[in-house]
Amino acid sequence: MPLEEHIFFCGFATAATFGASSYLIVRPGGNVLVDMPRFYPRLIQGLEKLGGVKYIFLTHSDDIAGHEEFARHFNAERIIHTAERDSAPMEIRIEGSEPVQFATDLRIIPTPGHTRGSMCLLFDGALFTGDHLAAGRAGGLTSFRNACWYSWAELKKSNERLLNFDFSRVYPGHGRRYFSEASATTQRDLLRLISES
């Protein structure tokens, strides 16, 4: 299902990732699948029609069920942080907390907190956040204090680090998607979240 010109929602969430949302970024440099949907024939055909999958970006270990099947089928390279469990067999492993300019249009931002190796992916003003950040119930942005497996203090620091980046949409694994009219509005909402959390 298209969300934007280059961003699609996969649907077919699997119970193995607690129903996490997954997304496809369609780009000339190779499509990126963000987190894992179910390996379902109709979805696979849809992904193939859109040009297949070159990279599989795994925000964190909670949402990686089925990654072997997808990687094998599409001959895709999996990207994960070394601090995540089960990261050993993945092709591309990100270390430390410094952002990585993975391609001219793709930036990987380590955001430890929900888990030790949680990461966000920034593409064209859209931030894919896994379980790090989502829209709040009453607008604005929120992080999930009751589902913070590693460190709330680290999570707050990660949100402070996100102030350095321009984005106006947030596509989470769980929770609501966030849209703002400009990155300045996002920064204001992020600042409010940091001060209240």
User: Residue 46 CB, nearest distance to Zn ion (Å)?
Assistant: 25
Name the E strands within 49-156: 55-57, 77-81, 92-94, 100-103, 106-110, 119-123, 126-130, 134-135, 141-142
Helix (H) or strand (E) holding 166: none
Nearest Cα neighbor of 95 from 115, 81, 116, 108 is: 81
Give the 3-state secondary structure of residue 101.
strand
154 scored as a contact of Zn ion (CB under 5 A): no
> Which of 35, 131, 154, 189 touches Zn ion by CB under 5 A?
131
Q: Which residue, 27 or 67, is less far from Zn ion as judged by CB?
A: 67
As measured in angstroms, the least distance from the Cβ of 34 to Zn ion is: 13
Taking the least distance from each CB to Zn ion, the nearer of 2 and 19 is 19
Q: How far is CA 104 from CA 26, 94, 124, in A?
A: 14, 17, 10
Smallest gap, in angstroms, from Cβ of residue 60 to Zn ion?
A: 6
Q: What is the DSSP string of 122-135?
A: EETTEEEEETS-EE
The footprint of Zn ion on this chain (CB under 5 A) covers a number of residues equal to: 2
Please state the closest distance from residue 181 (CB atom) to Zn ion, in A. Answer: 29
Site string for Zn ion, 50-79 (x = CB under 5 A): ------------x-----------------
Of 143 and 180, nearer to Zn ion (C-beta) is: 143
Question: Which residues sit at the interface with Zn ion, rule CB under 5 A?
Answer: 62, 131
